[in-house]
Amino acid sequence: MLAFSLPFFSVLLLFTTTAQPYNATDRFFLDCGSSSTTSDHPRWNSDQNSNSVPSNIITTSFPSTPFQPDPSVSGILPYTSARIFNASSFTYTFPVYQGPKFLRLHFCPATYSDLNPEQSLFTVTSNGFTLLTNFSAFLTAFYLNRKSFVKEFVIYVTDAQILNVTFTPSPNSYAFINGIEIVSMPESLYFSGGSLKYVGQNTGPVIDSKAALENIYRLNMGGGYISGTDDTGMYRSWEQDTGYIHGAAIGWTPVYDPKKPIIYTMETPDYTAPELVYRTQRSMGNQSDRYNLTWILPVDSGFFYKLRLHFCNIISQYTERGQVVFKIFINNQTADEEIDLFHLSRDSGYPVYKDYLVFIDDPDGRRGKQDLWVAMHPNPNSEKYRDAYLNGLEAFKLSMDSSLASPNPEYSREYPQPRAASPVIQNTKKTMAYGPVIGGVGGGLVLLTVLVLVVFLRSRVESLPLGRCRRFSLKEMKVATCEFDDRCVIGKGGFGKVYKGYIDNAKTVVAIKRLNSASKQGFREFRAEIGFLSKLRHVQLVSLIGYCDDEGEMILVYDYMPNGTLRENLYKNNNPPLSWKRRLHICIGAAKGLQYLHTGANRAIIHRDVKSTNILLDKNWVAKLSDFGLSKLGPKDRTQNHVSTMVKGTIGYLDPEYYRRKQLTEKSDVYSFGVVLLEVLCARPVINLGLPDEEVSLAELGKSCYRKGTLHQIIDLNLSGEIAPRCLMKFGEVAYSCLKEEGIARPTMDDVIWGLEFALQLQEHAEKSGGMVGEAMLEYQQLSFIMQAEPATTDEHALLGSTGMAKRHDTSSTDTFTEISQLTGR
């Protein structure tokens, strides 16, 4: 049954023969939901009249076709139709021989029969294994950034000789499937006891008929994509490895002399992998001592993984044992100390594979994604050449307790922080979080470690060069945005357009801001933004991932913020209104970002364009300050408190004092922030309230209402009854103090944070003690009345404390570009 392998003495024969593909004994290609007449494709058959479906198919399912199929899948089988199950479980049954089978499930999430693709959640089981639970094909496709995808499983069919596949919709949901593929495989391909090595443990599960596998990756190192039809008879497809290589050190990609044969053996039979896999490789090249050749593969945590590494020497200089010896690391642990292809095989052109088993820990119990690291490095004992290479890689997830299911990927993933330098704040927090866990063992030591880590991380951030962020090519930007397709536009401004894009093999969602060449806000702002943002890392600031300046383009790449700007959440009617507490948290977050700018470095940074459009919200509604194009460094000497400069900013938010005196201080940001606080409370445009004969700014209106004790009359209607009177009181007080005419009378951002946090506490207290809604507004009026009776100084200083810094000195205007380098010291 199996394709036979040739013994060594018949090697010559192979010079003229190509590898014999495996002849599958079982093959089923069901094009689900297609009608029998249209499906005359050689490979795919309609499921409707097949023997695999139950007799009650008409009542338990219905066929459908995708509404407006994406061009990338239209007309491609099996994605032109689907079978939908909305009532109960549905089982396909396939008579097959005993032995291991590939089970491939083809999904193309789309709108079928008016059903929302996001609402499809279901479970798939097969022969006692749970393959998927509460599975969302929609979220999976989003994560993979593909319109269609295949889930490949390996199931060992026992002597019952039946393979059944059951789809069960989750409650109030529906299941669907586009295609089911079943192909048998040689018994020993993946299930042989062979040379399995455990990494990081002495023993582990045995891979036998009681285990099910799921193929997670199948990569052709240094070569191109290999489609299922070019596989060795089992329809496996092999992907390029380029998207998974860590860092810039990608080595080089030798190709085997096409006239020379790949020679399969007893140990590596010809069905193992196609010749194309072995004819290309990724090798380290002559810089090999400087780095590890590393691939990073995101996998689901809490499972064992079997990795199959395919090797074949194809470099003609390497001819004998001992010349090239290398090490393999899996998840930073040594998986193999010495790999020498001339030890493992006879000669060049002889393929070899090695299997490893590794467990991916799930420390937080959430079964989320984790990175699996596969790396290689020359062994120092390598006699002649320092090199290491890999031709192919397959990764399989092993079932645990008969299940392979993991949670759905999250809808919008945050950009993983750049590996080179994580934000100081976040790292500190993380380290602290482990503190209590290991604290019992040696608190002092832990504290010391934390301190050392903090110092280390800080010093790393400090020493970063200016151009720390990534530089993208224009081609990468075009791929990310489908050639700057207007359908990807998520925002527009005077500068140009902002696109939603996908980078790193479509794994990372980003916001791409492309400067319009006709833009008035030009090069200077672009440079300022890179200059500031590449230096600053804070949870409350948007992260700049990189930029592109190819061919005169000016493009900036940021973390994608799925919840958009604060402004659109306040004003646009199609967004559900933000709750009052969420608004408070957003204000506190944004205030912390500003505080960091003002005091985090040894020179203050003045944002100069604080407004609700420049406060972005991530998927957890964490506020992030953005747009540093107008930002300015504060005076060199902290005893001076302003820089003189041309007035820039946005009408309605602009500090009147700055406007008059052309002197910029941190307090100008505080003023603008006060306007934002009013927007958050009132959800109105900052100027031009639309009153017939009146054009009044929100700042003036807010201040006047505050003084009269009528602030509650202009509150956003969406918040009616939600705000506790004392909270409103405090909030109004903070906003009012920010909007004082004289900068010196305004609070610092420290004071603002304090005041807002207090307001939040008042709100929470009122909610806990109940009864906050009832006579709320009456109480507010009474409260504000009491307050008005008190002397102005109480109003200004009781809450806000000393505002410090009274001296004023003139300095000449400072230049962002020359002085930016002085920012780093803290």
Ligand X SMILES: *[C@@H]1O[C@H](CO)[C@@H](O)[C@H](O)[C@H]1NC(C)=O
Q: Which residues are annotated as a binding site for ATP?
A: 513
Min separation Cβ 704 and ligand X, Å:
46
In this structure, the chain runs to a length of 826
The reply on whether position 164 binds ligand X by CB under 6 A is yes
Options 52, 265, 281, 331; binder of ligand X; rule CB under 6 A: 331
The reply on whether position 173 binds ligand X by CB under 6 A is no
The reply on whether position 379 binds ligand X by CB under 6 A is no
Min separation Cβ 153 and ligand X, Å:
14
242 vs 219: CA distance, rounded Å: 9
The reply on whether position 253 binds ligand X by CB under 6 A is no
Options 292, 563, 631, 641; binder of ligand X; rule CB under 6 A: 292
For residue 85, give the amino acid letter: F
The reply on whether position 113 binds ligand X by CB under 6 A is yes
813 vs 783: CA distance, rounded Å: 45
Tokens of 603: 């020179």
The reply on whether position 301 binds ligand X by CB under 6 A is no
The reply on whether position 136 binds ligand X by CB under 6 A is yes
The secondary structure element, H or E, covering residue 705 is: helix 698-708
The reply on whether position 182 binds ligand X by CB under 6 A is no
Q: Which is nearer to ligand X, 157 or 555 (CB)?
A: 157
Q: What is the signed CA dihedral for 43, 47, 48, 49, rounded to 10 degrees?
A: 70
Task: Name the pairing type of β-strands 213-220 and 239-240.
Answer: parallel
Catalytic residue among 387, 609, 655, 669: 609
12 vs 15: CA distance, rounded Å: 6
Cα-based distances in Å from 568 to 225, 576, 616, 683, 696:
43, 11, 10, 10, 22
Q: For the segment 505-534, give every residue that binds ligand X (CB under 6 A).
A: none
Tokens of 235: 């329809």
Q: Which is nearer to ligand X, 121 or 545 (CB)?
A: 121
Min separation Cβ 25 and ligand X, Å:
6
Cα-based distances in Å from 344 to 325, 340, 707:
11, 6, 85
Options 18, 74, 119, 134; binder of ligand X; rule CB under 6 A: 134
Q: Which is nearer to ligand X, 409 or 496 (CB)?
A: 409
Q: Which is nearer to ligand X, 46 or 136 (CB)?
A: 136
The reply on whether position 27 binds ligand X by CB under 6 A is no
Contact present, 405 and 300 (Cβ < 8 Å): no
Min separation Cβ 706 and ligand X, Å:
42
Burial bucket for residue 412 (CB in 10 Å: 0-12, 13-18, 19+): middle
Which range, of 206-214, 324-332, 475-483, 613-621, touches ligand X by CB under 6 A? 324-332
Q: Which residues pair with 559 in a beta bridge?
A: 510
286 vs 386: CA distance, rounded Å: 7
Which range, of 132-140, 253-261, 434-442, 806-814, touches ligand X by CB under 6 A? 132-140
Q: What is the 3-state secondary structure (H, E, C) of 286-342?
A: HHHHHCCEEEEEEEECCEEEEEEEEECCCCCCCCCCCCCCEEEEECCEEEEEEECHH
750 has catalytic annotation: no
Which range, of 160-168, 183-191, 546-554, 762-770, touches ligand X by CB under 6 A? 160-168
Which range, of 121-129, 446-454, 478-486, 681-689, touches ligand X by CB under 6 A? 121-129
63 vs 81: CA distance, rounded Å: 7
Place of tokens 């000449």: 812
The reply on whether position 298 binds ligand X by CB under 6 A is no
Min separation Cβ 91 and ligand X, Å:
4
Contact present, 826 and 602 (Cβ < 8 Å): yes
The reply on whether position 23 binds ligand X by CB under 6 A is yes
Contact present, 16 and 25 (Cβ < 8 Å): no
Which range, of 127-135, 394-402, 463-471, 707-715, touches ligand X by CB under 6 A? 127-135
Q: Which is nearer to ligand X, 17 or 821 (CB)?
A: 17
Min separation Cβ 329 and ligand X, Å:
4
Phi, psi dihedrals of residue 128, rounded to the nearest 5°:
85, -5
Tokens of 306: 């079997």
Site map 70..109 versus ligand X, x via CB under 6 A: ----------------xx---x-x----------------
Pick from 501, 512, 495, 498: which is nearest to 557 by CA? 512
Continuous H helices in 463-605: 474-480, 523-533, 566-571, 580-599
Q: Which is nearer to ligand X, 150 or 249 (CB)?
A: 249
The reply on whether position 111 binds ligand X by CB under 6 A is no
Q: Which is nearer to ligand X, 160 or 447 (CB)?
A: 160
Q: Which is nearer to ligand X, 173 or 710 (CB)?
A: 173
Options 14, 27, 43, 62; binder of ligand X; rule CB under 6 A: 62
Burial bucket for residue 178 (CB in 10 Å: 0-12, 13-18, 19+): buried
Binding site for ligand X (CB under 6 A): 23, 25, 62, 86-87, 91, 93, 113, 121, 127-128, 134, 136, 139, 160, 162, 164, 166, 286, 291-292, 329, 331-332, 373, 375, 377, 408
Q: Which residues are catalytic?
A: 609
